[in-house]
Homo-oligomer: A and B are copies of this chain.
Amino acid sequence: MFEKVQLCPVMRGVPLNELEILFKSMHFNIHQYDTNQMVIESGADCNSLMILIEGEVRGEMPDQAGKTVKIEDIAAPRPIAPAFLFGQNNKCPVNVIANIPTRVLFIPRNEFLKLLQQNTTILTNYLNIISSRSQFLSGKIKFLSFKTLREKIAQYIYELSGENLKTIFTGKSQEELAEFFGVARPSLSRTLKEMENEGILKTERKYITILDREKLSRLIS
């Protein structure tokens, strides 16, 4: 078991023998779940750090009408909802359901706090995980705050290209890019063509080439 725990981002870098010692003096539980069994329900309190050590779960968001929308799949080994263990709101925002037979390690909040104080590696790991998440979300919001599609495209290219790269590889089809931008596919196609006609860029399947950096920047400023 410790081999798998050790692979989890939270515990990464802690030698196996140290890990065993830490776990010996700590309360924790391991639960098993069958396919489609609920691991934690939306709205339930997150009192423990949950680490998926084996299997795969999905997060589903129940909407007002009671229907559900799948948010993401999480495969072992990874923590589940680490940002909801602390903070003002400890309610789990999604239903977490096992996709396949799954094992989850539960470490109660207080026990985990002790762990954080005993072991610098785990502390920095955890701080890095939730800080990175914040940073990721900040970036996402900055991106969403661009109103027009042209601005979003410009910003997207700017971030991928850095200061001097001329051609970027998106790794996404127009369909996927459109979904990423939150617009309809024909709208993206149209706008890309417009920008091409204006000599700003050129597209070629999953590659975009910048033709006029000056004009591109003006779209963002």
A residues engaging B (CB < 8 A)? 63-65, 67, 83-89, 93, 113, 116-118, 120, 123-124, 127-128, 130-135, 137-138, 140-141, 144-145, 147, 158, 182, 217-218, 220-221
| Interchain CA distance A217-B63 in the complex, whole Å | 9
**11 A-B contact pairs sorted by A residue (CB < 8 Å):** A63-B221, A83-B131, A87-B135, A88-B132, A88-B135, A89-B135, A113-B123, A130-B134, A133-B134, A137-B140, A140-B141
B117 in contact with A120 (CB, 8 Å): yes
- Given contacts A87-B134, A88-B135, A89-B135, could you give 13 more A-B pairs where the C-beta distance is less than 8 Å? A63-B220, A64-B217, A83-B131, A83-B134, A83-B135, A84-B135, A85-B131, A86-B128, A86-B131, A87-B133, A130-B134, A133-B134, A137-B140
Known: A113-B120, A138-B93. A131 touches B87 (CB 8 A): yes
Instruction: Quickly give the copy total for this chain.
Output: 2
Majority-rule SS of A interface residues: helix
B83 in contact with A124 (CB, 8 Å): no
Task: Determine the chain B residues whose CB is within 8 A of the CB of A182 once the complex forms.
Answer: 145, 147
Residue A131 contacts which of B65, B124, B130 (CB distance < 8 angstroms)? B130
Query: What's the least CB distance linking A156 to chain B, in Å?
Result: 13
| Interchain CA distance A144-B140 in the complex, whole Å | 10
Task: Determine the chain B residues whose CB is within 8 A of the CB of A128 once the complex forms.
Answer: 86-88
| Interchain CA distance A116-B114 in the complex, whole Å | 11
Task: Determine the chain B residues whose CB is within 8 A of the CB of A145 once the complex forms.
Answer: 144, 182
A134 in contact with B134 (CB, 8 Å): yes
Task: Determine the chain B residues whose CB is within 8 A of the CB of A134 once the complex forms.
Answer: 83, 87, 130, 133-134, 137
A141 in contact with B138 (CB, 8 Å): no
Query: What's the least CB distance linking A79 to chain B, in Å?
Result: 13
B137 in contact with A141 (CB, 8 Å): yes
| Interchain CA distance A85-B158 in the complex, whole Å | 25
Q: In the complex, which residue of chain B has the Cβ closest to the Cβ of A133?
A: B134
Known: A124-B86, A135-B88. A65 touches B217 (CB 8 A): yes
Task: Determine the chain B residues whose CB is within 8 A of the CB of A87 once the complex forms.
Answer: 127-128, 131-135
